[in-house]
Amino acid sequence: MALLSSAPASLCLLRLSAIGDCCHAIALVQAIQRQWPETKITWITGNIEAKLLQLVPNVEIIVLDKSAGLRAYLELWKQLRGRRFDVLLHMQAALRASIASLGIRARHRLGFDRQRAKDGQWLFTNYKVSATGEHVVDGFMAFGQALGLTEVKPHWSLTVPEEARRWAQTYAAQQPLLLLCPAASKAYKNWTVEGYAALVDHAHHSGMTVMLIGSPSPQERALAASIMQLTDHVANNLVGETSLPQLLALIDAARLVVAPDTGPAHMATLMGTPVLGLYAHHNPKRTGPYYCRDYVVSVYDEALLAETGKTAEQLPWRTRIKDTGAMQRIGISQVTAQFDRIITDFNLLQDPS
The predicted structure's pLDDT at residue 353? 62
Q: Give the integer Cα–Cα distance in Å for 21 and 49.
A: 10
The structure's pTM equals 0.96
The CATH homologous superfamily of the domain defined by 162-345 = Glycogen Phosphorylase B; (3.40.50.2000)
Can you tell me the distance from the alpha carbon of 273 to that of 275, in angstroms, rounded to the nearest whole number? 6
pLDDT tens, the chain, 353 aa long: 899 999 999 999 999 999 999 999 999 999 999 999 999 999 999 999 999 999 999 999 999 998 999 999 999 999 999 999 999 999 999 999 999 999 999 999 999 998 889 999 999 999 999 987 899 999 999 999 999 999 999 999 999 999 999 999 999 999 999 999 999 999 999 999 999 999 999 999 999 999 999 999 999 999 999 999 999 999 999 999 999 999 999 999 999 999 999 999 999 999 999 999 999 999 999 999 999 999 999 999 999 999 999 999 999 988 999 999 999 999 999 999 999 999 999 999 998 76
Confidence (pLDDT) at 1: 80
Query: What is residue 115's predicted lDDT score, i.e. its pLDDT?
Result: 86
Q: Write out the chain in H/E/C secondary structure.
A: CCCCCCCCCEEEEECCCCHHHHHHHHHHHHHHHHHCCCCEEEEEECHHHHHHHCCCCCEEEEECCHHHCHHHHHHHHHHHCCCCEEEEEECCCCHHHHHHHCCCCEEEEEEECCCCCCCCHHHHCCEEECCCCCCHHHHHHHHHHHHCCCCCCCCCCCCCCHHHHHHHHHHHCCCCEEEECCCCCCHHHCCCHHHHHHHHHHHHHHCCEEEECCCCCHHHHHHHHHHHHHCCCEEEECCCCCCHHHHHHHHHHCCEEEEECCHHHHHHHHHCCCEEEEECCCCHHHHCCHHHHHHCEECHHHHHHHHHCCCHHHCCCCCCCCCCCHHHHCCHHHHHHHHHHHHHHCCCCCCCC
Residue boundaries of the structural domains of the chain: 10-147, 162-345
Same fold flag, 10-147 and 162-345:
yes
Residue 143 contacts by C-beta under 8 Å, 6 or more apart in sequence? 28, 89, 91, 110, 129
Instruction: Indicate the CATH number for domain 10-147.
Output: 3.40.50.2000
The confidence score (pLDDT) of residue 111 equals 98
State residue 108's pLDDT score.
Answer: 98
